[in-house]
Chains A and B, each alone.
Chain A
């Protein structure tokens, strides 16, 4: 086999697979979004964006991402730093912390529903402590704050580990000598974190944040389980267009809008966390 051709031959199967099962459906969806049966049109987009629920779903999705992702980032950084300092039992702790990753998002939603439900753990606990006389329904339209909080908690519990795993790997790659040098030259632990860990972690932070933010805009099952229709999000609306209203053109348009938002935020994250030209990290 020609050595120059070999790499291309080796990536051919996966390329074909991606073209067939990713690129081709994507083109179909895009075609669907930009047509209503009679050539190119933006009708689908104007239909979905002018619907009264659209601003609400957009606001809810962005609000949730804005509330969840920074907390997850901070938590993941804290947990990754802790794991890296551990001498023994490091792997065990890491496995335990990543258990939620192995659970589907719908199952995660149902677990948290079992906590917040009228007959759930939280109610039993509160009545056991004598805080309430009879079970209260927490997840109702009267308590939008609690609904939001429950979804936040479930998301943080479920999806922090994906960032954690990436950041643990990234922190592990930073040579110990940099920390020793920083310590000798007078940097406190906090300054070491700010001046050494964070900048040298930029490539991992990029990956973790891009992945997490994209997933945050695609949030669906957790919201469906905990909020139902109380807290409409973009992906929920896309589902409704496709399966409840059987309007696949509108669903495709929604999907492309979510994609555009994801790409936009990805570019912003890559820009903010870029490595200065010439620096090698």
Chain B
């Protein structure tokens, strides 16, 4: 059983504060994705859990044991590196068995475990090859197999799919999710790719400027972003924002239209996802600027009240640049944000 607890972890590189007071609990066998743009501190956090980096302050607990003073090998973890780090001078077999050899396991045990994970990752025919003779995807499989062979409590992954081409990435995404679920290990997975995060995670921790902005299930992060940053980061295209003015008692005016919203006398931002709108007789008045047919649907970039606004419409919609559209937001999908705190307002 390996629950990970990160207690008030902060990290400074010289004067630069890479992580601010991170608190996070990852349950046993959970697939946690740390998602954020580059430089947000997600890899630093992963490396602190791993032990390749030490936190300036705070504690890391794995499986009820404080581990932040222990070397990586004593933490019950294994890691998949971004560039795979498959040793070029060892065969695939010796690469997968590297950790087991370091533990001085008997030969038969090493062979048994290596063969088992090689089969799991479909690389049993590559065991005698060297890394130079493998494709990127195969090397990726070796890196995962090497981590699985350790039978770790926790498997850490640092952008493991980022070096693969799009098609392979999609294939590996599903496969990795299946293999990890079966292995019953807790997984922490770092990525900047929101599709990867959404499709694989049990829970996503969205990170921004060294802080966890929101940690919730993918659908929760998508539907109910806790902050403006999350709303703007998740979703492709991201959420639309419009200026809203209070008319009192929870009534708001947005681009000349009335909406019901939270009871507040501040100025708020009205937010709606591009796909949560339908052309209708009443609603926001938009002027179409750019029309992008994407096959499954139509992406329309338009101007609403002087702000850029995107709508994902049915691909049969007939619209051309310059046309005026009336878009009706699905009212239960409207979200409100406080521009001062950037946090969501219920």
Contact = CB atoms under 8 A, between A and B. Distances in A.
A187 to B, nearest CB: 5
A279 B102 contact: no
B77 interface: yes
Given A186-B103, A187-B102, A199-B89, A276 B81 contact: no
Given A200-B88, A276-B130, A278-B132, A184 B83 contact: no
Nearest to A199: B89
A5 interface: no
Q: How large is the interface on A (under 10, 10 to 19, 20 to 34, 35 or more residues)?
A: 20 to 34
Interface in B99-118: 99, 102-103
A279 B89 contact: yes
Interface string B305-337: 000000000000000000000000000000000
B129 interface: yes
Q: How large is the interface on B (under 10, 10 to 19, 20 to 34, 35 or more residues)?
A: 20 to 34
B72 A280 contact: no
A270 to B, nearest CB: 17
B131 A185 contact: no
Contacts of B90: 279
Contacts of B103: 186
A278 B83 contact: no
Given A182-B98, A184-B73, A199-B89, A280 B79 contact: no
Interface in B239-281: none
B78 A184 contact: yes
Contact of A281 (B51, B79, B89, B150): B89
Which of A177, A196, A202 counts the most B-chain CB atoms under 10 A from its CB? A177
B203 interface: no
A185 B130 contact: no
Contacts of B77: 184
B181 interface: no
Interface string A147-183: 0000000000000000000000000000101101111
Interface in A254-281: 275-276, 278-281
A191 interface: yes
A184 B53 CA distance: 12
B67 to A, nearest CB: 13
Nearest to B104: A186
28 contacts: A177-B85, A178-B85, A180-B52, A180-B85, A181-B87, A182-B87, A183-B52, A184-B51, A185-B78, A185-B99, A185-B146, A185-B150, A186-B72, A186-B99, A186-B102, A187-B102, A195-B98, A196-B87, A202-B89, A278-B129, A278-B130, A278-B133, A279-B89, A279-B90, A279-B131, A279-B132, A280-B131, A281-B88
Given A175-B83, A280-B88, 14 more contacts: A177-B82, A180-B81, A181-B85, A183-B71, A183-B73, A185-B99, A185-B150, A186-B99, A196-B87, A200-B88, A276-B130, A278-B130, A278-B132, A280-B130
